[in-house]
Amino acid sequence: MQSHISINNIYRQKEHNVIHLRDPPMDLTKSCLVISMSLAFTVQAETLTRDNGAPVGDNQNSITAGSNGSVLLQDVQLIQKLQRFARERIPERVVHARGTGVHGEFISSGDFGELTQAAPFAKKNKVTPVFVRFSTVVHSKGSPETLRDPRGFATRFYSEQGNWDLVGNNLPVFFIRDAIKFPDMVHSLKPSPVTNKQDPNRFFDFFSHEATATNMLTWVYTNLGTPSSYRKMDGWGVHAYKFINDENRVKYVKFHWVSQQGVEGLRPNEVTKIQGQNFNHLTDDLYSQIDQGNFPKWDLKVKVISPEDLNKFDYNPLDATKMWLDVPETKVGTMTLNRVPDNFFQETEQAAFAPSNLIPGIEPSEDRLLQGRIFSYADTQLYRLGANLSQLPINQAKANVANHNQEGAANFGNTRSDVNYQPSVNLDLAEDARYRSVNTPLSGTVQQAAIPKQDNFTQAGILYRSLSKQDRSDLITNLSGDLGKVRDSNVKHQMLSYFYQADKDFGERLTKAVNGDLSEVKKRIKS
């Protein structure tokens, strides 16, 4: 019997409508008069955009931490210009991990202009085309879909403001909170550079030094780490983002795709059975159901908090290893997946998702992991597909793209102008000040230090206690299967001490399952 894990057991909450509609527009006749008078006295220049079609607010100044502060990595326009300039010659291409892509549409459930100026949420029943790519995170392109792994849940919205990529997972948190540890984490999870085998001795060695991963490891080793179906898993944005409305008011938000099909994971005995029968079970299930007209749906929900409330939590809300457990969710729309790609390589494999693909009304938060992903994902895609990846049909914005990015490999544009710089008296192309980055107050000094209020264990314990009796037993079975292979007693007992601090029953049962020493586990816990 498949495991049914209800996210609602983890945090109980009521649906609260915290969104207010904007005031109705002025009289239509007056609106037209104002517009016609404005056009009579101004010449409308075509708006400068980024490669995803999003308008540029300022192409003359980098985003800095104050007037004398450092330039910020989140300055997508700066980074994109430098990346493109450095790649005007042909690079090598790298292979991406295994993935499954599907087309569909997103329909807004209301007018959320009070919250954000982002086009997909502009009015009730607004339809935005989407492309979703489900994937495995760690394992290789040809690996079985039954292997334990977080699952990528990347959604591209093809809006009239440009492409917005919401690049998340099927689990709500992540292993680390700082992007500087991302290469180390991935190296530990990937096969050994000597034996080419994935080895629990390697990744638990790494995680024994990273108590931050306790929450995510607990999630991964539940049965959600082996989904029964792509249709039956939720999606999470993981990171906090900023919603910006027309008045430049800022709210911090987290995104959650809630499956209308429910959430199911495979139990340990089912994984072995299905792997022997069909190691493409996730793709086969998704495609066959769509072919039969059973289109899967997800409701998109957001949690919203005000900037002034960031310091009112016992944890840091911008920490990617944490959920916002005590914040209500509001439904903002529904996504339906209804069309299988015509060609795997041209669409699914060449789809280049990146958190830097943002549109007006959505900005990155100060989440340290997200700040690193803004650079690394776009940079990876440029290396993999080349400087002109945005010209590929699957990546091409529906909005008009107007900039001077040209040359490089596989450019099939038809640029005729002699001007490939900005500003210029010979080209009517300018930025639009309405789309400047929002001002964010800062204090403190440039530093290299960990965040306060880390609390690495509480939420892992909440998750454990929320599971059913059967799901707890499966978690112990799944986790002990890998942790029991660790030869180094120091590494094993350090990991056990983390799970014990999350929940005593969790730690005791796991210690027994791997033949650990409970007294040694307790010794490692700091008072």
From the candidates 52, 103, 139, 169, give the one annotated as an active-site residue: 169
- Cβ-based burial of 197 (10 A; exposed 0-12, middle 13-18, buried ≥19): exposed
Using the 8-state DSSP alphabet, how is residue 56 labeled? P
Ligand-binding annotation for 377, yes or no, is yes
96 is catalytic: yes
Q: 3-class SS at 208? A: coil
Per DSSP bridges, beta strands 46-47 and 429-430 are parallel
The token pair at 204 is 């638990």
From the candidates 96, 103, 139, 281, give the one annotated as an active-site residue: 96
Q: Give the sign of the dihedral formed by CA 260, CA 262, CA 263, CA 267.
A: negative
215 is catalytic: no
**Count of C-beta atoms within a 10 Å radius of residue 179:** 19
* DSSP symbols for 114-141: TT---GGGSSTT-EEEEEEEEEESSS-T
The token pair at 404 is 């001077």
Using the 8-state DSSP alphabet, how is residue 71 labeled? B
Cβ neighbors of 449 (< 8 A, separation 6 or more) are none
Q: In Å, how far are 63, 368, 470 from 69, measured between CA atoms? A: 9, 18, 53
Cα–Cα distance, 238 to 310 (Å, whole number): 17
Q: Where are the alpha helices (DSSP H) in 114-267?
A: 182-189, 200-207, 214-220
Binding site membership for heme: which residues?
Answer: 377
Just list the catalytic residues.
Answer: 96, 169
* Residue stretches of the annotated binding site: 377
